[in-house]
Amino acid sequence: MMDMAVTKKEPRSKFYELLQAQIHNEFNAAQQYIALAVWFDNEDLPQLAKHFYQQSVEERNHAMALVQYMLDRDHHVEIPGTSEVRNEFSAPIELIELALEQEKEVAADISAMARAARAEEDYISEQFTQWFLKEQVEEISQMSTLLTVARRAGENVYEIEKFLHRESVGDSGAADAAMPPVAGGAL
């Protein structure tokens, strides 16, 4: 009888170390976006809350796509806990600035993964990172636009609400056919 506790053995390359760390980063981003959404919900700003709830689901799906890739490549996956998230803010612009900074950090992390894959001549993994790099360009652009709108709105946060209600910003809920497969299916 096989021992089910036996874990898969694989070499831990720099790429796979970064990939495992990125699973943590994506889950942490999802939790941070939930915290932002709840803050906006508490402030009776439903469009901003909806936007960040959707962002949270998107980040969760990204984490699970990374998990699926590791499973597909026969690598052991560890599902990490998340770090502390920030919950205290004094103005909506702080939350959007935090979100933009978070997206820039994720872009740098994904770039580091792509560099590691290339350096290791792991072209399959390098190709895998390409969708995530493209996604980060979109995420940073959209969050930058939202920050610009928030700065122009100043104290009138309802202008941001009107903008989000009127414009398609972020995940529209439609599945991206080019997105890598998501473990358990995308939400």
Domains plus CATH for the chain? Answer: 14-79+87-166 (1.20.1260.10)
What's the pLDDT score for residue 5? 47
Token pair belonging to 134? 């493209």
26 assigned binding-site residue: yes
Q: Which of 74, 75, 115, 85 is nearest to 24 (CA)?
A: 85
Q: Could you give the 3-state DSSP secondary structure of residue 45?
A: coil
Contact status, residue 34 vs residue 95, Cβ threshold 8 Å: no
126 assigned binding-site residue: no
Q: Could you give the 3-state DSSP secondary structure of residue 178?
A: coil
159 assigned binding-site residue: no
What's the pLDDT score for residue 124? 96
88 assigned binding-site residue: no
d(CA 13, CA 130): 19
What's the pLDDT score for residue 6? 45
d(CA 6, CA 28): 28
pLDDT tens string, the chain, 187 residues long: the values are 444 444 454 557 999 999 999 999 999 999 999 999 999 999 999 999 999 999 999 999 999 999 999 999 999 999 999 999 999 999 999 999 999 999 999 999 999 999 999 999 999 999 999 999 999 999 999 999 999 999 999 999 999 999 999 987 765 445 677 888 888 788 9
105 assigned binding-site residue: no
